[in-house]
A = this chain, B = another copy of it.
Amino acid sequence: MKNYNNVENCPVRNVIDRIGDKWSMLVLLVLEEGEVMRFSEIHKTIETISQKMLTVTLKALEADGLVSRTVYPQIPPKVEYQLTERGKSLLPHLHSLVGWAVDNMVNIKQSRKEYAAELS
Please report A residues at the B interface, Cβ cutoff 8 Å: 1-2, 4-5, 7, 11-16, 18-22, 25-26, 29-30, 33-34, 45-48, 62-65, 86, 89-90, 92-94, 96-102, 104-105, 107-108, 111-112, 115-116
- A64 CA to B89 CA, complexed, in Å: 29
When distances are taken between beta carbons in the complex, the residues of chain B under 8 Å from A98 are 11-12, 15
Question: Are the C-beta atoms of B105 and A5 separated by less than 8 Å?
Answer: no
Question: Are the C-beta atoms of A5 and B47 separated by less than 8 Å?
Answer: yes
Question: Are the C-beta atoms of B26 and A4 separated by less than 8 Å?
Answer: yes
Across the A-B interface, give the 5 residue pairs with the lowest CB-CB distance, nearest first: A20-B20, A15-B101, A65-B111, A11-B101, A63-B115
When distances are taken between beta carbons in the complex, the residues of chain B under 8 Å from A101 are 11-12, 14-15
Given A13-B26, A16-B25, answer yes or no on A100-B105 (Cβ-Cβ < 8 Å): no
29 A-B residue pairs with Cβ-Cβ distance under 8 Å, sorted by A, are A1-B30, A1-B45, A2-B33, A4-B29, A4-B45, A5-B48, A11-B105, A12-B26, A12-B29, A14-B101, A14-B105, A14-B108, A15-B98, A15-B100, A20-B20, A63-B112, A63-B115, A63-B116, A65-B111, A86-B107, A89-B104, A90-B100, A90-B104, A93-B93, A93-B96, A93-B99, A93-B100, A96-B96, A96-B97
